[in-house]
A and B are shown apart, each in its own frame.
Chain A
Amino acid sequence: MEDLLFYLFAFVVIGSASVVVLSKNIMYSAFSLLFTFFGVAGLYVLLFADFVALTQIMVYIGGILVLIIFGVLLTTKITGVDIKSGTTGKVQLITASVVVVIIAISLILLFTNVEWVNQEFVQPNTTIDSIGFAFMTKYLLPFEIAAVLLLIALVGATLIARRK
Chain B
Amino acid sequence: MLETIQMEYYLILSAVLFTIGTIGVLTRRNAIIIFMSLELMLNAVNLSLVAFSSYYGDSAGQIFVFFIMALAAAEAAVGLAIILSLFRLKKTVYVDEVNIFKW
Which A residues are closer than 8 A to B by beta carbons? 2-3, 6, 10, 13-14, 17-18, 20-21, 26, 29-30, 33, 36-37, 40, 43-44, 46-49, 51-52, 55-56, 59-60, 63-64, 67-68, 70-72, 74-76, 85-88, 92-93, 95-97, 99-100, 103-104, 107-108, 111-112, 116-117, 119-122, 124, 127, 130-131, 134-135, 139, 142, 146, 149-150, 152-154, 156-161, 163
CB of B103 within 8 A of chain A?
A: no
Interface of B is mostly: helix
Q: Are A146 and B80 in contact (CB under 8 A)?
A: no
Count A-B pairs with CB separation below 8 Å: 229
Chain B residues touching A, range: 35 or more
Q: Which single residue of chain B is at the shortest CB-CB distance from A30?
A: B36
Chain A residues closer than 8 Å to B96, beta-carbon distance = 88
Q: Which single residue of chain B is at the shortest CB-CB distance from A55?
A: B69
Q: Are B15 and A107 in contact (CB under 8 A)?
A: yes
Q: Are A64 and B73 in contact (CB under 8 A)?
A: yes
Chain B residues closer than 8 Å to A85, beta-carbon distance = 28-30, 33
Using known A-B contacts A26-B33, A29-B33, determine if residue A121 contacts B54 with beta carbons closer than 8 Å.
Answer: yes
Interface of A is mostly: helix
Bound form: Cα–Cα A55–B76 in Å: 16
Q: Are A14 and B20 in contact (CB under 8 A)?
A: yes
The 9 closest A-B CB pairs, nearest first, are A2-B1, A153-B74, A96-B26, A21-B24, A161-B81, A107-B15, A157-B77, A160-B81, A122-B57
